[in-house]
Structure 1
């Protein structure tokens, strides 16, 4: 006979409980072509992904200002050493070059050239001053002989 506690359908025959199905592993559905996808939320501090129709641009990098100033100071120091004011620019080039080396390692060409030109300008300034002193001493001693 049939169990009186079993649920019955309207026709009067007892219903069988559904058999448990084994759980299938969940796999993400492949993306539909042409369907817009929801972008993942960016993490804190991460660059934003471009929205549809916007070109991707890399985040702006800081310009190596100390290294560029070191290079410019070295060039002006070399030229100015012949006119007796290059020593100041040369010293500034060396200082800015060493600051650029510690803070802007990616701009090695700029700060290295600024340091080298700064030291060359300092050496040139010293040579020009020695020559000037020698010439003035020679002129002064020749004027005292007359």
Structure 2
């Protein structure tokens, strides 16, 4: 009589359990034939369509982040402030300084990510306006001094 709990193979008969310490092999499940699959017919709902986007697969990278707009107003404000500082010593920097301040404040509202550019443009613009005003006051004082000295003779 055989043990009812022992694994049996109909082709080999009852199997003996392996000896203690012997390597054990997992039982092999019986394999069933796989029916061949045919590709879906052209135009069928499951068939890939020409020009259709491929189905997403696992492991595909994410779509790239959208490109950010360049902070053109803030950069123009910075450039205007620099030209305003240099030009204020030659009496034409006032226009660039005013443009730098205006573009800086517009850039502050529209391009908050470019804080360094628009803030520097605003500061340089105000400094250039102050230098321009000081130069105008000095020029008027010099002209008044020269004019008063001419009338005394």
**d(CA) in 2 for partners of 1:50 and 1:59?**
15
Partner of 1:38: 55
**d(CA) in 2 for partners of 1:84 and 1:92?**
15
**d(CA) in 2 for partners of 1:120 and 1:111?**
14
Partner of 2:82: 75
Q: Does 1:98 align with 2:98?
A: no
Shift of 1:61: 1.1
* Structure 1, unaligned runs of 5 or more: 1-36, 41-48
Which consecutive aligned stretches of 4+ in structure 1 deviate over 6 angstroms post-superposition? Answer: none
Give the secondary structure class of the aligned counterpart of 1:59: coil
**d(CA) in 2 for partners of 1:117 and 1:67?**
12
* Structure 2, unaligned runs of 5 or more: 1-53
Q: Does 1:122 align with 2:139?
A: no
**d(CA) in 2 for partners of 1:120 and 1:106?**
23
Shift of 1:57: 4.8
**d(CA) in 1 for partners of 2:65 and 2:152?**
74
Q: How many equivalent residue pairs?
A: 98
Which residues in structure 2 correspond to 1:1-146 (within 5 Å)?
38-39=55-56, 57-146=64-153
TM-score computed with the length of structure 2 as normaliser: 0.59
Shift of 1:119: 0.4
TM-score computed with the length of structure 1 as normaliser: 0.62
Shift of 1:141: 1.0
Q: Which has the larger radius of gyration?
A: 2
Give the secondary structure class of the aligned counterpart of 2:121: helix
**d(CA) in 2 for partners of 1:136 and 1:57?**
64
